[in-house]
Amino acid sequence: MTFINIKAYGYYAVIFFTVMLGVIIAEYKISEYASMTFNYFFKMTFVFTVYPLIGCLVGFVHIRKERKKEGKWQLNIGKLLVFAVPAFFFAYYPFLIYFGPLSFLSIPSVTFNQAILAVPSTLYIFEMILGYTVITSFYKKRNAASSL
User: For residues 103 and 8, what is the distance between their CA atoms, to the nearest angstrom?
Assistant: 46
CA distance 138 to 148: 24
Convert the pLDDT of each residue in 57-77 to its tens digit: 999 889 988 998 888 999 999
Whole-Å CA distances, 25 to 28, 30, 32, 52: 5, 9, 11, 17
pLDDT in tens, 25-35: 999 999 999 88
pLDDT at 131: 95
Name the range with the highest mean pLDDT among 53-62, 99-108, 118-127. Answer: 53-62
Residue 125 to residue 111: CA distance in whole angstroms: 19
